[in-house]
Structure 1
Amino acid sequence: MSGKTVTFYFSVLSPWVYLGGPRFHAIVRDTGATVVYRPIDLLHVFRATGGTPLAALSPARQAFRARERERWSAWLNMPISARPAHHPVDESLAAQLLIVAQEAHGNAVVWPLAQRMLAGVWVHDLDIADPATLERMARDEGLDAQALLARAATPEARARFEAHTAQALAAGVFGVPSFVIDGDLHFGQDRLDFVERALRAG
């Protein structure tokens, strides 16, 4: 058991976070690592680092990424929509809900709620910018949904979301999922082997 800490930078809009998240958490469980959750503003990160949002990619790149999603979906036996009805949307309120839920209830509630949001986007065609949708998701996780959503909509929660994004940029993050272990950045759900090796290293 490594006992190491990994900072997990993620977006609740990313198909790669949806596909990679369960395997990452299995690695965390098996290595005894501690996760520091950092939901971030992915579009802001793209703008700051020269990245290109999916909708602005060339047709060839869009087609390849769609095929990659299909391949990973089949390989992992995780369903995914080819054309989600609500992507992209403003993810700020959803991310802020995760932040305040963690503050109120601890780490254990973060990933189940985040994966519910991700599946909402990529499987169930739900709009995670809609407060009613988020309230229902939080309630389905057994949380005090109304109270948490009210806290998520405050300037203080927004400031923490922006601080997470600034921290990601300072760490060299340019996309998601990103994992920082001992100051070393690992990017992509297809690099989880390296994440596991880093967490197991002495």
Structure 2
Amino acid sequence: MSKTIEYFLTPHSPWTYLGHDRLVALAKAAGAHVDIKPFDLGKVFGASGGLPLAKRAPQRQAYRLLELARWSQQLGLPLNPQPTFFPIPPDAAAKLIIAARTSLGAEAALELAGAVMRALWAADKNIADGDTLAQVASNCGFDGRMLVKSAQTAGVQEQYERNTDDAMAANVFGAPWYVVDGVGFWGQDRLDFVERALAKAV
């Protein structure tokens, strides 16, 4: 039986961006399948007591920027902590990733998710814009226009809602969130624990 990581993400999270490539690499090394599940973090915040960034206390916002800079330097990943297009509605990008998962498979969806997050956090692109998303997908070698169109279907919306329901059922309250053998791990700084959990999984 193959090992599985449930990967709850939202593409407008810088923390998800910082952990994405490492997650993909450690899953590959462990021979694990990544079940990628973009979800509605705003809805989860509403159910779990979380606050959107703009409503957090100033000292929390300031420390977030400090930590983003630290992790960007630590990981050697380019990151603009205050991109032009942020805060931004993540739904269109999340549903694009779901459309890729549905039509092209998990590996394609993971590749596209990484590209979308790099577009926002490293290239200062507007990932709420359909043309931008189509270009990002096309740059990955996919049919960007087709994926953007597919992302607008009722089936993708239903999957987005199911992912969100799954997140709440798993007691998710932030992103990224990883689940191995029913145990949750919040944040890219918990990937060492995810790796250890995979080593024990059967």
Same fold (TM over 0.5): yes
Question: Which residue in 1 is equivalent to 2:190?
Answer: 191
**Distance in 2 between the 1:82 and 1:7 partners?**
27
Q: Does 1:44 align with 2:21?
A: no
CA contact (8 A) 1:92 1:158 kept: no
Structure 1's unaligned 5+ residue stretches are none
1:155, distance to aligned residue in structure 2 (A)? 2.2
1:107, distance to aligned residue in structure 2 (A)? 1.1
Q: Which amino acid aligns with 1:148?
A: L
Question: Which residue in 2 is equivalent to 1:156?
Answer: 155
1:156, distance to aligned residue in structure 2 (A)? 2.1
**Distance in 1 between the 2:146 and 2:120 partners?**
23
**Distance in 2 between the 1:82 and 1:95 partners?**
20
1:184, distance to aligned residue in structure 2 (A)? 0.8
Question: Which residue in 2 is equivalent to 1:139?
Answer: 138
1:108, distance to aligned residue in structure 2 (A)? 1.4
Question: Which residue in 2 is equivalent to 1:54?
Answer: 53
User: How many residue pairs end up in the alignment?
Assistant: 201
Q: Which amino acid aligns with 1:21?
A: H
Secondary structure of residue in 2 paired with 1:133: helix
Question: Which residue in 1 is equivalent to 2:14?
Answer: 15
For residues 135-175 of structure 1, the C-alpha deviation after alignment (integer angstroms, 9 at most, x for no partner) is 10111111112122111112221111111011100011000
**Distance in 1 between the 2:20 and 2:81 partners?**
19
**Distance in 2 between the 1:132 and 1:168 partners?**
29
Secondary structure of residue in 2 paired with 1:137: helix
1:82, distance to aligned residue in structure 2 (A)? 2.5
For residues 163-190 of structure 1, the C-alpha deviation after alignment (integer angstroms, 9 at most, x for no partner) is 1011100011000111111111111111
- Identity fraction in percent: 41
**Distance in 2 between the 1:103 and 1:83 partners?**
32
Alignment of 1:38-187 (within 5 A): 38-187=37-186
1:122, distance to aligned residue in structure 2 (A)? 1.1
**Distance in 1 between the 2:19 and 2:99 partners?**
23
1:3, distance to aligned residue in structure 2 (A)? 3.2
**Distance in 2 between the 1:34 and 1:82 partners?**
30
Question: Which residue in 2 is equivalent to 1:29?
Answer: 28
Structure 2's unaligned 5+ residue stretches are none
What is the aligned-residue RMSD (CA, Å)?
Answer: 1.2
Secondary structure of residue in 1 paired with 2:94: helix
Q: Which runs of 4+ in 1 moved over 3 A?
A: none
TM-score, scaled to structure 2: 0.96
Q: Which amino acid aligns with 2:66?
A: R
Secondary structure of residue in 2 paired with 1:82: coil
Secondary structure of residue in 2 paired with 1:172: coil
CA contact (8 A) 1:131 1:149 kept: yes
